[in-house]
């Protein structure tokens, strides 16, 4: 892992997971239900398949409707509603252990930093501002666009991050916590470090093909702080 980190000129962070637990104080299951209610209010329940009707993941609801009605008004309303919900969540989200000092230490060693997330960039910026971390990511917070086809595993947000930071893909490292992060990193030509807060998530990442997985960001922070890192 030391070589993986030491050669990175830029570190791309997924937001929900590696930086914070976004929905720790504002649960995602309730958001998904309110989005289904919005779909029902517009008389479009038929657009929801089996997964979208039962999921606790609001992004599944958004993706499902957007795929059925690309560029439609309802998809736009759902995206706006999800952004507002994510901003409420960001205001009370819990930081991932060791995330704050890791960000600060990476910046102190001259690494460029960016956020690459399927969540709203506004929510990420709100959270980072509250933690006094926003200056480390200034101009490099790349979140969800209206076109849900560009959500990870599509590499769009990684491409934007590489462009905004002026980084070649082979000189970047992504820290993510899901198989879609791994797929997006691979599509962008960026190396990947998996973060898993429990054994189940670690196994999921390894089964998806992740070669490097940590269960605590303390391991990454220790690697950054070693004398050989610089």
User: Tens of pLDDT along 159-170?
Assistant: 999 999 999 999
Report whether 42 contacts 142 (CB < 8 A): no
Which residue has tokens 């610089």?
230
Percent of the chain exceeding pLDDT 90 equals 93
pLDDT tens per residue across span 127-176 = 999 999 999 999 999 999 999 999 999 999 999 999 999 999 999 999 99
Average pLDDT, the chain: 96
pTM of the full predicted structure? 0.94
**3-class SS of residue 41:** helix
Cα separation values, 39 from 32, 72, 78, 180, 190, Å: 11, 12, 8, 26, 37
CA distance 50 to 188: 32
pLDDT of res. 230 = 47
Looking at the predicted structure, is the pLDDT value of residue 64 above 90?
yes
Which residues have CB under 8 Å from 227's CB, separation 6+? none
């Amino acid at each position: 892992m030391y070589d993986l980190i030491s050669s990175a000129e830029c570190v791309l962070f997924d937001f929900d997971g590696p930086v914070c637990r976004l929905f720790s104080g504002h649960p995602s299951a309730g958001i998904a239900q309110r989005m289904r209610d919005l779909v029902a209010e517009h008389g479009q329940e038929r657009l929801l398949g089996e997964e979208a009707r039962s999921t606790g993941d609001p992004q599944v609801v958004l993706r499902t409707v957007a795929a059925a009605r690309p560029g439609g008004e309802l998809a736009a309303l759902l995206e706006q509603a999800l952004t507002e919900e994510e901003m409420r969540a960001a205001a009370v989200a819990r930081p991932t252990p060791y995330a704050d000092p890791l960000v600060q230490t990476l910046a102190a060693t001259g690494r460029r930093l960016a956020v690459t997330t399927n969540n709203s960039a506004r929510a990420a910026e709100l959270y980072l501002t509250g933690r006094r971390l926003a200056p480390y990511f200034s101009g490099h917070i790349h979140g969800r666009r209206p076109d849900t086809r560009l959500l990870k595993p599509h590499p769009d947000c990684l491409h934007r991050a590489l462009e905004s930071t002026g980084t070649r893909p082979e000189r970047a490292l992504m820290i993510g916590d899901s198989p879609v992060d791994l797929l997006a990193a691979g599509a962008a030509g960026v190396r990947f470090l998996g973060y898993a807060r429990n054994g189940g998530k670690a196994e999921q990442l390894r089964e998806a093909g992740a070669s490097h997985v940590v269960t605590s960001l303390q391991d990454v922070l220790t690697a950054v702080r070693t004398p050989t890192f610089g």
